[in-house]
Amino acid sequence: MTVLRKDLLLELRTFETVPAMILFSIVTFVIFHFGLNQATIDGQLAGGVLTVTLLFAAMLGVNRLFVAEREQGGFDAFLLAPVDRSAMLIAKASALFAFLVVLEVVAVPAFGLLLLGPSLGPPLLGLIAVLALADVALAVIGTLVSAIAVNTRARDLVGPVIGLPLLIPALIATARAAAPLLAVHGSGAPPGKWVAVLALYDLVFALLAYAVFDFLLED
C-alpha cells in the first residue's frame, strides 16, 4: 500500500510518465490518420487502432515502472521491510493500472474526437468494461515483464520484446470486443465470448504472476 502511495505521489510530483503516455497516444492517433489516410474510422479498424495505441503507450509506462527502484535502491529498501514480497507486485500493478486509467480518460475522448466516426456516447459503458479488463492484463503482464527486464542489460529492449508476444491474446480479445462497440450501427454491449477470453487471460496471468513474482526480487 505504501509502495503504491509512493508511486502515485512520485508521479503526481514529477509528472513524468503519464503525460508522456498521453502525448504519445495522441501523436499515434495522428500518425494513424495519415498512415491510413482516413478522416474517420469505425468497427474493427477503430477497435484495432485504439487497442494498438493503448498497448504501445502502455509499453512506455512499463519501461519506466521499476527504473526509480533500481536507480535509487528501492529494491533493497523493500526487501528489508517486513512485508510480503507479493505486495510489490500488487502495488506496482495497481500503479500501472492507475496510470492506464488516467491515460484512457484522456486518450479515448481524444480518439473519439480525432478519428472515430460513430459517436462514443452509446457504447461508452461497454467500452469502459472492456478497457478495464484490458488494463488489468496490461498491468499484470507489464509489471511482470518490467520486473524481469529491469535487471537485464538492455532493459528497454527486453521489456517490450517479451511483453508484446505475451500480450497478443489480450490484444486480440480487446480489439474484437471493442469492434462492435465502435461500429456505425453497433450494439451497446461487448460480445460475451471476447470479454470471457479477456477475463480468463487476466485471471490466469494474475495468478501466475503472483506465483512467480517472489523469485524476481530474491537478491
Partner 1 sequence: MTYGRGLRGLSLATAATISLALGLVFFYAPLDADQGFVQKIFYIHVPLAIVSLCGFILGGLLAIGYLRTGERQWDVRSYVAIHMSLIFGIAGLITGSIWAKASWGHWWVWNEPTLVSFLIVLLLYATYQPLRFAIEDPERQSRYASVFAVTAGAFVPLNFIAVRLAQQYVHPRILTLSGGNLPGSMRLTFLVSLLGIALLFVTLWKYELAAKNTRAQIRALRRSLLGEESVRPLGRSAAPS
Q: Whole-angstrom Cα distance, residue 183 to residue 38?
A: 15
Name the residue nearer to partner 1 (CB basis): 24 or 205: 205
Nearest CB to partner 1, comparing residues 110 and 162: 162
Question: What's the min distance (Å) between Cβ of 166 and partner 1?
Answer: 6
Nearer to partner 1, 183 or 216 (CB): 216
Positions touching partner 1 (CB under 8 A) are 144, 148, 151-155, 158, 161-162, 165-166, 168-169, 172-173, 176, 193-194, 197, 200-201, 204-205, 208-209, 211-212, 215-216, 218-219
Q: Report helix angle 43-64 to 17-36, nearest 10.
A: 150
Nearest Cα to Cα of residue 169 among 205, 145, 218 = 205
CB of 219 to partner 1, least distance (A): 7
- Going by C-alpha positions, the residue among 193, 21, 148 that lies closest to residue 97 is 21
Considering the complex, what minimum distance in angstroms separates the CB of residue 42 from partner 1?
20
Contacts of 22 (CB under 8 A, 6+ apart): 57, 102, 103, 106, 107
Inter-CA distances, 202 with 35, 170, 179, Å:
32, 8, 20
Rank residues 27 and 203 by Cβ distance to partner 1 and give the closer one: 203
Q: Rounded distance, CA 209 to CA 173, Å? A: 20
- CB nearer to partner 1: pick between 47 and 112: 47
Q: Which is nearer to partner 1, 3 or 173 (CB)?
A: 173
Alpha-carbon span 35 to 45, nearest angstrom? 13
Shortest Cβ 187–partner 1 spacing (Å) = 19
- Least distance (Å) from partner 1 to the CB of residue 208? 5
Residue with cell 517479451: 162
| DSSP 3-state of 43 | helix
Alpha helices (runs of H) in 81-123, residue ranges in sequence order: 86-114
Radius of gyration of the chain (CA): 18
Q: In the 8-state DSSP scheme, what is residue 66? A: T
Q: How far is the CB of 110 from partner 1 (least distance, A)?
A: 28
